[in-house]
Amino acid sequence: MTGASPIPPPGALRTLSLATLANTVGSGLWLAGGALYLTRDVGLSPAAVGAGLTVAWLVGLSASVPLGALADRRDPRTLRAAIQVGQAVAAAAYLLVGSVPVFLAVAILETLLASGNLAVRAALVAAVAGPRGRVHAFATLRAVANLGIAVGAALAGFALAVDTHRAYQVLVVGNAATYLLSAALLMRLPAQPPAARAPAAGRPRRARALRDVRFLAVSGASAVLSLHLTVLTLIVPLWTVTRAGAPPPVVSAVLLTNTVLTVLLAVRLSRGADTAAPAARKLRRAGLVLAAATPLYAATAGLPTVAAVVLLLVATAVWTFGDLWHGAAGAGLAYDLAPPDAIGAYQGADGLIAGLARAVGPALLTLLVLDGGVPGWLVLGALFAGVGLAAPALTRWALASREPARPVAGDRPAAPV
């Protein structure tokens, strides 16, 4: 990374980064304006949009493992580009939404493609970057994605300020166009050979990923810690306004703090998570740091406004370190614990577990923290700390079932977990 820019030097990773930047500018457009388009312009009720998206995401998770396994048998570059063309069609189809059934059909199609795309993306990153560079590449793309979402959200502000039918249509078309641009950039990469060449082996690999209890246990621990995303984007904004008594613009400052730190630190904090043993230690650190931030958020309740705002920003900075350590550790574990010929299928299984956590997270965390108050924050902190402390033992258990890998020239044995 040169200077403060997350865009890497020329090469395959730069091409991947530019594709990610294009894609996530569209994500930022839709995240900022999609709900308002569906409610203010289309006329759907907020309850219908919320329920429809929940159903769509639960259905969409079913594509994660099959498409991930397909990426093990096909060129993941071409497969991901094809999926993104499909996502462009699905994104543009929101222009046709005029009723709840049509909205649900479009949302399900979109989330099926999005869920599968995450697994295929992970397989593509592994193919392009190799075992030694895939966690670094993952962290680089994380930083780029945050930058893209911030740019997209800022651009969406123009459409939201105009607040007309034509402005919302431009927002929808802009989102669809970014998928096509991303797909075109991906096709500039060289074709990637499939990880496994025997098509008949696809079905056993999918089943193996979903039956690998030890891998799923580690993924489950990572998925619990991934609730930090829901905490930051849903619970903290609501807590900021309702319990900390801060004015609504502080929510933007809190989220901007996370975005800036992610762009600046994601790559640096990912170092040392390429293999399972050090990644497990980093996951433990993530759990403990997230746990340390929960009482800071809790303490903002009842403070004077200025003190509450300062503490919210400090807590978010601490939270972001845990967030970034978790991202790197989760990627390192999911990659290194997967068989080399089934990276896509195992990434799909990991994404399935994480997706289930995201599905139940909003209701669970709302009940625990927003209804539970300060004790709820402390319970959440204890959960994060306990899961983090358990991660090394779970990883040792998973590693015990793996066949010894042939050493790569220049590799040094990993330190014990």
> What number is the average pLDDT over the span 408-412?
38
Inform me whether the pLDDT recorded for 44 exceeds 70: yes
pLDDT of residue 5: 63
Instruction: Answer for the pair 265, 319: CB distance below 8 angstroms, yes or no.
Output: no
pLDDT of residue 50: 81
Instruction: Answer for the pair 379, 368: CB distance below 8 angstroms, yes or no.
Output: yes
Q: What is the pLDDT of residues 248-280, one digit of tens each?
A: 889 888 988 999 999 999 999 999 999 999 999
Q: What is the pLDDT of residues 196-216, one digit of tens each?
A: 554 444 444 556 899 999 999
Superfamily designation of domain 1-191: MFS general substrate transporter like domains (1.20.1250.20)
Q: What is the pLDDT of residues 9-21, one digit of tens each?
A: 889 999 999 999 9
Q: What is the pLDDT of residues 63-82, one digit of tens each?
A: 999 999 999 999 999 999 99
Instruction: Answer for the pair 21, 146: CB distance below 8 angstroms, yes or no.
Output: no
Instruction: Answer for the pair 177, 88: CB distance below 8 angstroms, yes or no.
Output: yes
Nearest CA-CA partner of 83 in 54, 115, 59: 115
Please spell the DSSP secondary structure of 321-332, one letter per residue: HHHHHHHHHHHH
What is the band of 8 on the pLDDT scale with cuts at 50, 70, 90?
confident
Could you tell me what percent of the chain has a pLDDT over 70? 92
Inform me whether the pLDDT recorded for 404 exceeds 70: no
pLDDT of residue 96: 96
Could you give the residue range(s) of every CATH 1.20.1250.20 domain in the chain?
1-191, 211-402
Could you tell me what percent of the chain has a pLDDT over 90? 74
Distance CA 138, CA 270 (A): 9
Inform me whether the pLDDT recorded for 373 exceeds 80: yes
Residue with more model confidence, 303 or 162: 303
Distance CA 268, CA 331 (A): 15
pLDDT of residue 233: 86
Q: What is the pLDDT of residues 375-399, one digit of tens each?
A: 999 999 999 999 999 999 999 999 9
| Fold adopted by 211-402 | Growth Hormone; Chain: A; (1.20.1250)
pLDDT of residue 153: 86
- Name the average pLDDT for the chain: 90
C-alpha pair distances (Å), 333 with each of 170, 281, 351: 41, 10, 13
> What number is the average pLDDT over the span 116-130?
93
Distance CA 226, CA 285 (A): 14
Report the SS3 class of residue 248: coil
Inform me whether the pLDDT recorded for 412 exceeds 50: no
User: CB under 8 Å to 10, separation ≥6 — which residues?
Assistant: none
pLDDT of residue 396: 97
